[in-house]
Amino acid sequence: MFTLDTEIAWGMKGDKNWQKEFENTRQVVDGLLKLLDKYQISATWAFVGELMREGEDRLYHAPDLLKAVMDCSTPQEIGCHSFSHPVMDDAAFKADDMDKELSSCVDITKSAGVELKSFVFPQNKIAHIDRLSRFGFVCYRGKDKSWYAKFPKFLNKLAHVVDEYLLIAPPTGMPVRRGEVLEIPGGYFYPHKRGWAKPLPVSFRARKAVKGLRKASDKRQIFHLWTHPFNLASDPKELLHGLEAIFKEVAQMREKGHIEVKTMREIAALRRTSLAMTEYGGSKSLLPKGDLEGLTFARNDKGEEMEIASS
Ligand SMILES: [Zn+2]
């Protein structure tokens, strides 16, 4: 699974340090779509709502980008990354604000014939999950469950760099039900080529992702790769080259029947474990060839649904 937080400048409003990358995002998306099509990989593109609307500033408005993604011959999922990229776990950000963010996104995409089902929280700051299903969402991306995720900030950064250089296999996992929606675990952020990540060889990123794919295949779980298109613009040629190495492996493993490639909404449709999911599940073509449907679930002491066995 591959998700892209599609925001151009929305995640770092007014930040001039990434100006060149913001300006080159369209080009890199073009290259990425060609690769996805070449290897027939469907990804989930979580768009910032305002980015999909017409407007003068091309770093904050890009309906052309939405069109390009929708026009890809290999179908791509359009997901949602909020309307204006607020920090949603901030105490000042209330449920009403969440409702406004979500309804604005639904309104914009309706006219483009898109039904939003998958959500990615800005900065992966998760809050107000209970509002998602009211607007038709069935899943969101959870945080990466790295071994250093709970370290304090400074140690976390250091451990992240160590983790990249040691090529530790990224986490894989299974969806967990949270209220009416599914949390689909994050996995590996494909790093840009700036700051701490500049000296990190691109081949390391690819090798690490391939470890994630093999681990997912062995454990029959999900490996979830994600990044921002503008991150790729920090070294388009090399970073797209690295992604191609990953996609090649994906295609080979899929060919051998070791993995399947799914978008977020497809995973959610596979896991029809509640009435809400069943109603959404609809299309038979999305239903399991694979193992997910046979999974059975129980609740842990926090009331979360956990996998206990597969048939
Ligand atoms: Zn973002």
pLDDT digits (tens, 9 = 90+) for 223-257: 999 999 999 999 999 999 999 999 999 999 999 99
DSSP symbols for the chain: -EEEEE-TTGGGTT-GGGHHHHHTHHHHHHHHHHHHHHTT---EEEE-GGGGS--S-TTT--HHHHHHHHT-SS--EEEE--SS---TTSTT--HHHHHHHHHHHHHHHHHTT----EE--GGG----GGGGGGGT--EEE-----TTTTS-HHHHHHHHHHHHHTTPPPP-B--EEETTEEEEP--EE---SSGGGSSS-HHHHHHHHHHHHHHHHHHT-B--EEE-HHHHTTSHHHHHHHHHHHHHHHHHHHHTTS-----HHHHHHH---SHHHHHHH--GGGS-SSSGGG-EEEE-TTS-EEEEE--
Distance between Cα 7 and ligand 1 center (Å): 6
Give me the phi and psi of 78, to 5 degrees please: -95, 120
Backbone angle region of 180, left / alpha / beta, with phi > 0 → left and psi within -120 to 50 → alpha: alpha
CA of 134 to the centre of ligand 1 (A): 22
CA of 119 to the centre of ligand 1 (A): 11
Distance between Cα 220 and ligand 1 center (Å):
29
Distance 141 CA to ligand 1 centre (A): 12
Specify the pTM. Answer: 0.87
What is the rounded average pLDDT for all residues in the chain? 89
Report pLDDT digits (tens) over 13-24. 988 999 999 999
Q: Which domain holds residue 29?
A: 2-309
State the distance from the centre of ligand 1 to the C-alpha of 297, rounded, in angstroms.
32
Residue 283 pLDDT > 50:
no
Please count the structural domains in the chain: 1
Q: What is the per-residue pLDDT across 119-137, written as a single tens digit (0 to 9) for each?
A: 999 999 999 999 999 999 9
Residue-level pLDDT at 274: 40
CA of 268 to the centre of ligand 1 (A): 22
Ligand 1 centroid to Cα of residue 202, in Å, is: 22
Of the two residues 118 and 275, the one the predictor is more confident about is 118
Ligand 1 centroid–CA 300 distance in Å is: 31
Q: Cα(55) to centroid of ligand 1, in Å? A: 19
11 CA to centre of ligand 1 in angstroms: 5
What pLDDT sits at residue 277?
39
Q: Cβ atoms within 10 A of the Cβ of 107, count?
A: 11
Q: Is the pLDDT of residue 278 over 60?
A: no
**CATH classification at residue 245:** 3.20.20.370
pLDDT over 90 percentage in the chain: 83
* Residue 292 pLDDT class (50, 70, 90 cuts): very low
CA 301 to ligand 1 centroid distance, Å: 32
**For 49-76, what is each residue's pLDDT tens digit?**
999 999 999 999 999 999 999 999 999 9
| pLDDT single digits (tens) 138-178 | 999 999 999 998 999 889 999 999 999 999 999 999 999 99
